[in-house]
Structure 1
Amino acid sequence: MIPKGKINPALILVTAPILVALTILFSIHYGAKNIEPAEVWNAIFHFDTDSIDHQIIMTSRLPRVVGALLIGAFLAISGALMQGMTRNYLASPSIMGVSDGSVFVITFCMILLPGTSTLGYIAFSLLGSAIGAGIVFSLAWLLPRGMTPVRLAILGTIIGTFLSGLSEAAATYFQVSQNISFWYNARLHQMDPELIKLIIPFAIVGLALAMSLSKSITILSLGDEMATGLGQRTKWVKALSILSVVILTGISVALAGKIAFVGLLIPHITRFFVGVDYKWVIPCSGILGGLFLAWCDVLSRFINAPFETPIGVITALFGVPFFLYLIKTRGGKANV
């Protein structure tokens, strides 16, 4: 049953292919050089290696928008899982130290193992996500009232800043700052098409886990006591949810670096539209998150044209006011 005042989630799912196709077309069309839609069609279905426009489309703009759609979806789903699992409306990968953990491990991987393969960087990014999440949640469970929204957000910010500071200090000392800057200043325009192919198996596992846990997250979002009373094995649900978050966030950082606020903002918007049933919240968050980041990327090309504004600045323009709004209106209430 659809909650009163909400829209039918199926409407989002049905219109998603059309919205995604329009987003891809618009993103490829606009840039330093505008490319006509007919050229986009020809590049995809009749690729000409001698055409500069075709080369731009297939090696730069198409991977860029596909990457933005995927990363936005992964981060939004991660945020939805974290908020539902912890009943914390401030939970998100960027605030809880998950993204910073990825960059931290990748930094030391570059220093200690400079010959690491692309697949190796993905693996280390996943390891870093697990380390970041593990440190933050372990400390939160140990500290008195550590799982309350504001305290968990503060703890996550402190750990994230600490890991980020260590990474930058090590990168500067060992002179790899230029290499690591990609992961700190998310650059969608440097998206690697081969890397997108490599993360697909990991993405399938992370998304399958998220969808299979959707019913359990709905129950868990009612509170641990009620979930336990309904026979749910809450520790297993939380462990698998964190695993999904680690996978999805890790591959997002590996693709384009750290991008903030998508995982915080989009789950709230999704619940506003479709209600609190995570059977719908998770897939709809993925759709809206992908579209949000892709259009933020398009907007980044117009604000200071012909130069591009960093994507992190655009997401912050939406995310920071929303973050402050949540703290002001929701206080320290531990529910979503």
Structure 2
Amino acid sequence: MTTQKKGKLNFTTTFIISVVLLIVALIVSIVIGDAKIHISTIFDAVFNYDSKNQQHNIISEIRIPRDIGAMLVGVALATSGAVIQGVTKNGLADPSLIGLNSGASFMLALTFAFYPTAPFIVLMIAGFIGAIMGGFIVLMIGRSRSDGFNPMRIILAGAAVSALLTALSQGVALLFRLNQSLTFWSAGGVSGTTWGQLIWAAPFIIVALVIIVAMSKQLTILNLGETLAIGLGQNVALTRAIALIISMVMAGIAVAMVGQIAFVGLMVPHIVRYLVGTDYARVLPLTAIIGGLLLLVADTVARMLGEAPVGAIISFIGVPYFLYLVKRGGRFS
């Protein structure tokens, strides 16, 4: 068996196992909750829904949209992180570490201040406008003409810009008395996800994922080096711009849905590259599955701990992993 075939078999096996684990985690997550509901009732709620049955309503209106929301947000954050790491050649990049989350939160704070009854579509648009704003500032600071995107400069710029935007968000919250409204977004959580939010967010995330997977060949070449990419006839500036904008849109939608959740986009791509290598045709699909799995499991654990913030659960793992990567110099797995 050749190395290529062996790697392909390894990817297929890993992908199938990840999908199976995701399905199992979804079923377990739907079962677990304050209300004790038998698994047969869950299948009844899905395939034979009765609006007069309270347990059916709990399953179909609370638990299922919450779990689907957790998976979608995990997909968005993990995929966004993988693309940003590849485009900037920075193994420490993450939507929360380069200003995307704080930018989205700042725009959400302004939206709450001036449009308190804003529908979710407005919040979603505000979220990805803010993410683009925060990410653009950080990347422009972190880029120089001589060496392109400098990993350490991006991280330092991200920390500074994130601190500034977070302070501005808190200032808006104090001025307009929005502390309670913004607490949810600061802590991060999927408990309030509704079908109405999913109807708007899911198509954007799915379309963005399809586009970015279709660009996997260009991203793989770009990740090998800008000189090689140009030599192979690739429009580096256009590829980089499209990939970054899509990543920022996905991160912005995720923040609009569940608030600031860090480190998903940092950890998952490293884990996936360790498992299947650096070919983005393999990295991106597997990153999406494992990202959804990670956030779904984290939300289930948070629910078992009495609705602890999901962001805190992820950070409990993410902070040590980030420090480990810093010690390794942020090198790709």
Instruction: Supply the distance in 1 between the matched residues of 2:122 and 2:303 (Cα, whole angstroms).
Output: 32
SS at match of 2:149: coil
Q: How does 1:150-169 map to 2 (within 5 A)?
A: 150-169=152-171
- CA RMSD between the two structures: 2.0
Instruction: Supply the distance in 1 between the matched residues of 2:8 and 2:275 (Cα, whole angstroms).
Output: 5
Q: Quick one: which of 59, 62, 80 aligns to 2:61?
A: 59
What letter matches 2:35 in structure 1?
Answer: K
Instruction: Supply the distance in 2 between the matched residues of 1:297 and 1:45 (Cα, whole angstroms).
Output: 25
Q: 2:177 — aligned with what?
A: 175
Q: Quick one: which of 190, 196, 201 aligns to 1:194?
A: 196
Q: 1:48 — aligned with what?
A: 50
Shift of 1:310: 1.1
Q: 1:294 — aligned with what?
A: 296
Instruction: Supply the distance in 1 between the matched residues of 2:230 and 2:196 (Cα, whole angstroms).
Output: 44
Q: How does 1:201-280 map to 2 (within 5 A)?
A: 201-280=203-282
What do the CA deviations read for 1:80-119 (whole angstroms, capped 9, x no partner)?
1011111100011011111111111111111123342221
Change (3 A) 1:7 1:310: farther
Shift of 1:6: 8.8
Q: 1:308 — aligned with what?
A: 307
Instruction: Supply the distance in 2 between the matched residues of 1:139 and 1:2 (Cα, whole angstroms).
Output: 40
What letter matches 2:313 in structure 1?
Answer: I
Q: 1:23 — aligned with what?
A: 25
Q: Which runs of 5+ in 1 are unaligned?
A: none
Shift of 1:4: 7.1
* Preserved contact between residue 8 and residue 274 of structure 1 (Cα < 8 Å): yes
* Preserved contact between residue 3 and residue 275 of structure 1 (Cα < 8 Å): no
Change (3 A) 1:143 1:230: closer
SS at match of 1:190: coil
Change (3 A) 1:168 1:123: same
What do the CA deviations read for 1:280-317 (whole angstroms, capped 9, x no partner)?
10010000110011111112233x4xx22211111011
What letter matches 1:237 in structure 2?
Answer: T
* Preserved contact between residue 7 and residue 273 of structure 1 (Cα < 8 Å): no
Q: Quick one: which of 66, 73, 76 aligns to 1:74?
A: 76
Identity between Structure 1 and Structure 2 (%): 34
Q: 1:110 — aligned with what?
A: 112
Instruction: Supply the distance in 1 between the matched residues of 2:77 and 2:294 (Cα, whole angstroms).
Output: 11
Instruction: Count matched residues.
Output: 331
Change (3 A) 1:146 1:97: farther
Q: 1:184 — aligned with what?
A: 186
* Preserved contact between residue 2 and residue 8 of structure 1 (Cα < 8 Å): no
SS at match of 2:224: coil
Instruction: Supply the distance in 2 between the matched residues of 1:34 and 1:262 (Cα, whole angstroms).
Output: 30
SS at match of 2:328: helix
Change (3 A) 1:296 1:224: same
What letter matches 1:320 in structure 2?
Answer: V
Shift of 1:3: 8.5
Moved more, 50-59 or 66-75: 50-59
* Preserved contact between residue 72 and residue 205 of structure 2 (Cα < 8 Å): no
* Preserved contact between residue 19 and residue 289 of structure 2 (Cα < 8 Å): no
* Preserved contact between residue 9 and residue 280 of structure 1 (Cα < 8 Å): yes
Q: Which runs of 5+ in 2 are unaligned?
A: none
Instruction: Supply the distance in 2 between the matched residues of 1:142 and 1:109 (Cα, whole angstroms).
Output: 33
* Preserved contact between residue 3 and residue 274 of structure 1 (Cα < 8 Å): no
* Preserved contact between residue 186 and residue 311 of structure 1 (Cα < 8 Å): yes
